[in-house]
Structure 1
Amino acid sequence: MAAPCDHRVLVPVDVLGGESVPRTVIDAFASVPVVLLGYREIPDQTAPEQAREQYGERARADLEELRSVFEDAGCDVTSRLAFTHDRLKTFERVVVTDSCDAVLLLNPAPILESVLVAIRGDVNVDYIARLLGTVLDGTDLEVTLLHVASDESRRDDGTELLETARDALVDADVDADRIDRRLVVDGSPTDAILEAAADHDLLVVGESRPSVRRYVFRDRAERLARETVDPVLVIRGDYLEVDEAADDDGADARPVDDGAVVVSPTDIADEGTDGTDERS
């Protein structure tokens, strides 16, 4: 059994858009604390406060019903509710404010038997392995580690990287018999990952460099989530503190103002607050 850890996963759900969380996903993530974010993306001309007043009661009811399903599965779950003009920016903000290690972007998952883990570099291998060890604990999920080398000259480096990732998963108490490795040489890594994902039920991608809140979905993560039919778990890098002046690209690391109102349904019910989150 994997050792206890402080990992936490953000699970955003479009509660008013009819989106649900497949039971297979709930069962697979029951061993990991979850922040359940019920959200609704609204038009630019609609104020989040206006949407909350109009749809908040219904959204809270739907969110609490979904939360109870997670709790019945034995999951440690916290819920949040947001009306936003930009869902990805809101996800990134909540990831930081609620100290989440990853974001699970939902797609239908009628079965969940195999996981594809796209490994891009060795910077985050141990970090990814520790979180995966927690997710895989208590499941029978099979794991394929995938690395896409840009050309033949990088094949040996890719093989070594996959071996390092395998060892890290074994150290995280994942049975070696459940782990497969696959190396692909392709000049288009994103296309290669999408092709491989078609044979699996859950895609895991991670940052190869540290990231701050506005870059959880930089690089290929957003396209992978948009174009695959699988749920996608985006694992954050060993992220920088939010008060750092800039990231490695020179971008401002201050909190992003996404215009969203993010609230805790429990706080509203128990404390009667107006639900406005001042942290953004």
Structure 2
Amino acid sequence: MEDESGNRIAIVSGASRGIGAAVAHAAAAAGYGVVVNYSADAEGAHAVVRRVVAQGGRALAVQADVSQPADVVRLFDEAGDWGTVTAVINNAAITGNQIGTLVEVPAEKVQRVVDVNVTGMIFMCQEAVRRLSTDHGGNGGNIVNISSTATKAGSPGTWVHYAATKGAVDVLTVGLASEVAKQGIRVNAVAPGSTKTGLHAAAGMPDRVEKLNPTIPMGRGAEPEEVAAAVMWLMSGEAGYITGAVLPVAGGR
């Protein structure tokens, strides 16, 4: 049972750039009020809000570190003060901005990547269920987790630690979907392949997407908007009988 009141709110974590920003724009275009979550990039988040508003949508920037339970509760509280949360898109993730073999990644970076990509997503999913579940007085809705096709090969020589966290995202998606299927909540994931975002440049390989093009059947990386379109489809009524799915958006790779 999803809220059709016209005051639907979508929380998008890590929405100050890249896929998260594209999802925020797509959700706003679909009529959601969008909570643009960010951890540190306030300038980027507020730029997303300005673009959404300029296009006639509603958006609100909220700072919160998803790896901190108190921040997650505050994020949902602020969103709930603005409307009825019916969609949560868990996009926040980091690589540690380091490319190399697993043995080369410092312990503190491994810990932080796990804290954000796995623990943070679990916290977000827990709070989403508390707010959306019909068993808890909610109106139902959707959770969409952003995974990665890096889970297939494990990203050897680049981001094994990151790929491992995305494997956890897939398991979380499948397990939680089964738990809450009778509580009005659908839980799915989108697994992008090589995507044209700033993630690669931040890790010191701005041309990484182009280098991977020959390995992709469609011959190119994804645009963030193409990933966002998959997210929005999973949130739509057209996907109303789909839960526990991990949808690859990877050009056939």
Alignment TM-score, normalising by the size of structure 1:
0.36
The structure number with the bigger radius of gyration is: 1
Q: Which has the higher contact order (CA 8 A, sep 6+)?
A: 1
